[in-house]
Amino acid sequence: MSLALLQEAAMSYGAFAAIGAGLAAIGGGIGVGKIGGAAMEAMARQPELQGKLQGSAIVLIAFIEAIALFAVVVSFLAMSA
Amino acid sequence: MKTTTFNLLKSLLSGVFFLWVAFAAYASPDAESKESIKEEEFEASELIFHHIKDSHGFHVAGDFSIALPVILWTDNGLVTFMSSEFHHDNDGEVVVEKNGMKFVNLHEKIYQLEAGASSVSLDHEHHPTNAHRPLDFSITKNVFSMLLSLVVMLLLFSTAARSYKKSQNHMPSGFGRFVEPVIVFVRDEIAIPNIGEHHYKRYMPFLLTLFFFIWLNNIFGLIPFFPFSANLSGNIAFTGTLALITLLITWFSSKKSYWKHMVWMPGLPVPMKLFLAPIELMGMFIKPIALMIRLFANITAGHVVVLSLISLIFVLKTAWAGTVSVPFAVFISVIEVLVVAIQAYIFTMLSALYFGQALEEEH
Amino acid sequence: MDLVTPEIGLIFWTTLSFLVLLFLLRKFAWKPILNSVNTREQSIKDALAAAEAAKREMENLTADNERILKEARAERETMLKEAREMKSQMIADAEEEAKAKAEKMISSAQAAIETEKKAAIAELKAQVASLSVDIAEKVVKSELSDKDKQLKLVADLLDGATLK
């Protein structure tokens, strides 16, 4: 009986972890989308700066992505806690 | 001549892709068939986690896997044996006895049984109660893959270097022609803008080694058959070690102003300084931790997504799912090829950025 | 939890592999490759610099030529000018000399004329004197015969004796 309870708890932990990862993905998506949009706009305005803009956009996306990935790792931890 | 080489390369690449997808689709039921004997239900997460974790043998195809050496540092000294002595068991059932010590493989972790115990007993959280872990320096799947990448890198780059030496006018040939643009890219786009003209030369060997090491291991992880397919760069020990090396080099190359800006930010009121110091100090550690997690999670997530898509066929129990999931898996894999290069670039670039910050002089 | 717990074995092997790789590649790959790339870039840069220098040299040469040509032209100009000046000087000198000579001749001629004139006047004076004496003699003679005739004679004589 206690085993079944624990299993259930573990399953619900997993569900919460999945929701957490999903929320982090929303945040990351918004951030990456904003950067991508702004970068495209800037590139359209000044095509001669394309290379520079692309490089910094990728780096900024990496920063935002890291935050979302932190959340993913936290949900990994939560899932197996 | 050039176009033929290119075409050959193109067909080779596409061949690898199709082989990969075909193999993934073929390999999965193998892994599954073993599971399904024990428990009717196909557990996608189990398959995926089995793949992205390390293991003591290298599964090739079907029931065939390569045995790898197990190297343990126990209280009674060094113990080595081949992983085949466990007979593919990773549930702690097969007990290997060496030098009077008993070892079991429990979920790809080697446990040493306490004296007197003859089999491992588990508590309800599946943790063993009568065994402990010795220091495990085994050549696991990941270590094997890393050593392979080490050999490949040494061969490739010494060949490239030799091609420079052979030519009279310092023009590379063969593989050197492929790596030179990448090396120049690392120098001109990563090292010089972030570290600066004066100091960048000292860091070039590190940055180049880091970039190619991560890139090659990422690519090895993407290739889905035998000597590759280990999820090395999606392992936190690997990324953490590289991030730690970056942190250590940052410290060793730091100037006074780096610490001054961290502990006692000049040009701010005192309360602000007191407020900023702990944040900055934390930031010093968070930067390499972010490096570690970024690479680990990116690569692991890539593997998880591809495997999940393939697993969909077995979860839905219909081959028709493959018509959707396989092209999607191919699509994700193509994106992954881009992602692994970008991740190698970002890891190297941020390392260079941190070195540049550490080297900044008072102005 | 497993996934985010680093294993000591892999840390050890990663450190070892990375350091070995760093050391060996630095020695056998990065140094020769980077040196070659640098040498090549340096040689390209040098060649470009040399070409630039040659171009500048060429420009200097043409500029020199131009300058020399200009100088020569200027010299010619000055020489011509000098010659022209000399010519006008000579002409002026000659004119001056001629004028001086003519003046001298004129003045000597005038002096001669003056002398002649003086001599003529002196002679005239002597003639006038003798004429006067003659007239006086005749007047005296005729006065002695007829007073009216004498007066008329004087008047006639004076009429006929115009100073020429």
The verdict on residue A6 lying in a domain is no
Question: What is the pLDDT, as a whole number, of residue B128?
Answer: 81
Sign of the Cα pseudo-torsion (B272, B277, B282, B287, in order): positive
The verdict on residue A68 lying in a domain is yes
Q: A70 touching C, CB under 8 A?
A: no
The verdict on residue B189 lying in a domain is yes
B130 shares its domain with B147: no
Contacting chains of A (3 CB pairs or more, <8 Å) are B, C
Task: Dig out the tokens for B152 from the structure.
Answer: 């490949």
* DSSP structure string for B103-133: EEEETTEEEEEPTT-SS--B-TTS-BSSEEP
Domain boundary (B138, B169, B186) is at B138
What is the residue range of B111's domain?
69-138
| φ and ψ of B235, to 5 deg | -110, 130
Interface predicted TM-score (ipTM): 0.82
The verdict on residue A36 lying in a domain is yes
Binned at pLDDT 50, 70 and 90, residue C1 comes out as low
The verdict on residue A5 lying in a domain is no
B187 shares its domain with B134: no
B116 shares its domain with B252: no
- C-alpha pair distances (Å), B113 with each of B42, B83, B106, B193, B280: 32, 17, 11, 55, 46
CA distance B235 to B145: 12
Q: A3 touching B, CB under 8 A?
A: yes
Mutate one of A73, A76, A77 to test the B interface: name it (highest B CB count within 10 A).
A73
Query: What mean pLDDT is predicted for residues C91-106?
Result: 94
CA distance B129 to B113: 9
pLDDT digits (tens, 9 = 90+) for B201-241: 889 999 999 999 999 999 999 888 888 888 888 889 999 99
pLDDT higher than threshold 60 for residue B22:
no
Task: Dig out the tokens for B146 from the structure.
Answer: 């890393």
The verdict on residue A55 lying in a domain is yes
Domain boundary (B138, B172, B194) is at B138
Residue B91, Cβ neighbours under 10 Å: how many?
Answer: 13
B337 shares its domain with B310: yes
Residue with tokens 């002595």: B85
Domain boundary (B92, B119, B138) is at B138
Residue of C nearest to B167 (CA): C36
B87 shares its domain with B171: no
B79 shares its domain with B221: no
- C-alpha pair distances (Å), B237 with each of B107, B153, B214, C102, C144: 18, 21, 13, 127, 183
Q: B90 touching C, CB under 8 A?
A: no
The verdict on residue A3 lying in a domain is no
Q: State how many domains chain B has.
A: 2
Task: Dig out the tokens for B192 from the structure.
Answer: 């010089």
**B78 has which bridge partners?**
B73
B165 shares its domain with B297: yes
Question: What is the pLDDT, as a whole number, of residue B1?
Answer: 44
The verdict on residue B38 lying in a domain is no
CA distance B81 to B152: 26
Question: What is the pLDDT, as a whole number, of residue A8?
Answer: 65
**Per-residue tens of pLDDT for chain A, all 81 residues:** 466 665 666 566 677 777 888 888 898 899 999 999 999 999 999 988 888 888 888 888 888 888 888 887 887 777 665
- Contacting B residues, span 57-76, partner chain C, CB-CB under 8 Å: 71
Query: What mean pLDDT is predicted for residues B10-19?
Result: 58
- C-alpha pair distances (Å), C150 with each of C137, C139, C145, C154: 11, 6, 7, 6
Residue with tokens 């003699």: C137
B124 shares its domain with B150: no
The verdict on residue A2 lying in a domain is no
Mutate one of B239, B294, B305, B308 to test the A interface: name it (highest A CB count within 10 A).
B294
- Contacting B residues, span 303-362, partner chain C, CB-CB under 8 Å: none
Sign of the Cα pseudo-torsion (C138, C142, C144, C147, in order): negative
The verdict on residue A1 lying in a domain is no
With beta carbons less than 8 A apart as the criterion, state whether B232 and B140 touch: no
Residues of chain C in Cβ contact (below 8 Å) with chain B: 2-15, 17-18, 20-22, 24-26, 28-34, 36-37, 39-40, 43
Give residues with Cβ within 8 angstroms of B135, minimum separation 6.
B72, B73, B74, C8, C9
Phi-psi category of residue B170: left, alpha or beta, with phi > 0 → left and psi -120 to 50 → alpha: left
Helices C8-25 and B141-166 meet at what angle, rounded to 10? 0
Question: What is the pLDDT, as a whole number, of residue B152?
Answer: 92
Element (H, E) at C72: helix C31-143
Q: A58 touching B, CB under 8 A?
A: yes
Closest in A6, A55, A73 to B293, CB measured: A73
Phi-psi category of residue C62: left, alpha or beta, with phi > 0 → left and psi -120 to 50 → alpha: alpha
Question: At CA B189, angle to CA A31 and CA C47, rounded to 5?
Answer: 155
Question: What is the pLDDT, as a whole number, of residue C24?
Answer: 92
* CATH number, domain containing residue A27: 1.20.20.10
The verdict on residue B30 lying in a domain is no
The verdict on residue B197 lying in a domain is yes
Binned at pLDDT 50, 70 and 90, residue B352 comes out as very high
Q: Which residues of B touch A53 (CB under 8 A)?
A: none
Q: State how many domains chain A has.
A: 1
B163 shares its domain with B83: no
Question: At CA B209, angle to CA B204 and CA B212, rounded to 5?
Answer: 120
Chain-chain contact of C2 with B176 (C-beta, under 8 angstroms): no
B306 shares its domain with B334: yes
B88 shares its domain with B234: no
What is the residue range of A75's domain?
12-80
- C-alpha pair distances (Å), C157 with each of B312, C138, C151: 177, 9, 10
Mutate one of B298, B347, B351 to test the A interface: name it (highest A CB count within 10 A).
B298
Question: What is the pLDDT, as a whole number, of residue C139?
Answer: 74
Query: What mean pLDDT is predicted for residues B34-41?
Result: 48
B222 shares its domain with B235: yes
Q: B146 touching C, CB under 8 A?
A: yes
**B296 has which bridge partners?**
none
CA distance B59 to B194: 42
Side-by-side strand order, sheet with B101-106 = B96-98, B101-106, B109-113, B131-132
Q: Which residues of C touch B176 (CB under 8 A)?
A: 33
Which among B55-59, B200-204, C60-64, C120-124 has the top mean pLDDT?
A: C60-64
The verdict on residue B291 lying in a domain is yes
CA distance B136 to C9: 5
The verdict on residue B119 lying in a domain is yes
The verdict on residue B338 lying in a domain is yes
pTM of the predicted structure, to 2 decimals:
0.74
Q: Which pairing describes strands B131-132 and B135-136: parallel, antiparallel, or unpaired?
A: unpaired
